[in-house]
């Protein structure tokens, strides 16, 4: 019988998913889309990935892959915006509690980037960053940005 510390079938499934994620991350996708970011955010929300793993994944891709949802006269992309936000999640003090806001933005219908973007940004301005800095100041990923 597996003990309570990291045992059980749920833990095994999470470890397998994490292994598959890491293996898939070794090869760089030439193009990513909203569905890729939705999956990453869901893994983070569900505890399959840590903030550090999400940050590392995004850091490797931001500026190095093409995104599939450019639109408008001025090229806009929800995928691009969220990818760069995940690349800077430590600077932005992003936490799993913010994920629903990011998912909502990624579900913005094509042709409505501006509305989705403004709603996303407006929601993020409601975060109490002073309290968040205090909460995150001892966590190595975030600490340099909590001074």
pLDDT (tens digit per residue) in 65-102: 999 999 877 789 999 999 999 999 999 999 999 999 99
- Identify which has the larger pLDDT, 123 or 147: 123
| 51-61 vs 34-45: helix crossing angle, rounded to 10 | 160
pTM of the shown model: 0.81
Give the whole-angstrom CA distance, residue 111 versus residue 4. 49
Q: How many CB atoms lie within 10 A of CB 41?
A: 21
What is residue 28's DSSP assignment? Answer: -
């Amino acid at each position: 019988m597996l003990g309570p510390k990291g045992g059980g079938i749920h833990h095994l499934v999470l470890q397998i998913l994490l292994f598959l994620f890491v293996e898939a991350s070794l090869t760089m996708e030439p193009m990513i889309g909203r569905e890729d970011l939705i999956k990453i955010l869901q893994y983070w929300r569900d505890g399959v990935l840590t903030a550090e793993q999400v940050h590392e994944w995004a850091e490797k891709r931001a500026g190095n892959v093409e995104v599939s949802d450019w639109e408008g006269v001025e090229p806009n992309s929800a995928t691009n915006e969220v990818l760069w936000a995940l690349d800077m999640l430590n600077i932005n003090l992003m936490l799993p509690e913010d994920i629903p806001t990011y998912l909502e933005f990624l579900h913005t219908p094509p042709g409505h980037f501006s509305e989705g973007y403004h709603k996303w940004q407006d929601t993020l301005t409601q975060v109490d960053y002073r309290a968040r800095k205090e909460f995150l100041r001892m966590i190595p990923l975030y600490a340099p940005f909590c001074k």
